[in-house]
Amino acid sequence: MTARAPRDWLLNTLADKLPTGSPNARLTAERVALTVELVIWDWHGTGDPTPDSRADAQALRNELARIPHNTGDTRADYAARLRLAAKGVTL
């Protein structure tokens, strides 16, 4: 796809992918960064980055900067917060 991804789609897709396999594992910055890339690939494909895919990745990182996480959070904990943010809840 070439169009920009909707904010709620980005957050919900990240929330779906983040806890995959190990929902009770501790959340790490590395896991979040990898999962952000997978979400962008889901929407834009795995080809070379485009202006839209770069903009969506940055928009998602900006959203994540506004969604708090605590030391010791699990992937499932943070995924729950992402789903709330996708619905417009201020965290």
Please enumerate in sequence order all residues whose Cβ is within 8 A of that of 73, keeping only pairs 6 or more positions apart, or say none: 26, 27
pTM: 0.92
Domain locations along the chain: 7-86
Residue carrying structure tokens 């996708």: 86
Cα distance between residue 79 and residue 62, in whole Å: 16
What is residue 12's predicted lDDT score, i.e. its pLDDT?
98
CA distances from 45 to 20, 42, 48, 73, 83 (A): 20, 6, 9, 30, 23
**DSSP E strand boundaries for the chain:** none
- pLDDT tens track for 24-72: 999 999 999 999 999 999 999 988 999 999 999 999 999 999 998 888 9
For residue 66, give the H/E element and its range.
helix 51-66
For residue range 70-79, what is the model confidence (pLDDT) as tens digits? 889 999 999 9
